Amino acid sequence: MRNYDLTPLYRSAIGFDRLAQLAEHAAANNGNAGYPPYNIELLGENRYRITMAVAGFAMEELDISSEGEKLVVKGEKQEKGAERKYLYQGIAERGFERTFQLADYVTVTGAYLEHGLLNIDLVREIPEALKPRKIEIGTRPLLEAEAQ
């Protein structure tokens, strides 16, 4: 039997681990999968943070949108007036679009840019009606037991 490493599937899924949806998302992922690099942190039981390395991008060049169960982060460099002549260019200045698949009830609570890192905070808020609840086990009331 073959052993498959599913680690790449978990890099862009936040808040759930449904294998079928992960596989579908991974198959739809474009060839720009390694840029820009990012981390996904678990901050608490239902709190997450995505940190993306967006060195060289200004706040005005970044766009974050939530479309249904997808979080889309785009970076588009604005055209510069004068062309620079590089001897070596190691800092990528190309635009990007990164999509993250979100689980049900996961929403973005905020985003901030600090030291070339874009931080996006998320939280999963499950409605009370869907949360597990404890059912108390009691004895049968005396009046109902006598009536039958």
Model confidence at 20: pLDDT above 50: no
For 75-89, what is the mean pLDDT?
A: 81
Q: Which residues of 29-53 are buried (b: 16+ CB within 10 A; e: fewer)?
A: beeeeeebebebeeeeeeebbbebb
Specify the pLDDT at position 148: 60
* Stated pTM of the model: 0.67
| Tens-digit pLDDT profile for residues 59-79 | 999 999 998 889 999 999 887
Give the count of beta carbons closer than 10 Å to the beta carbon of residue 113: 14
SS3 content of the chain, % helix, strand, coil (to 5): 20, 35, 45
CB 108 within 8 Å of CB 120: yes
**How long a stretch of residues is the chain?**
148
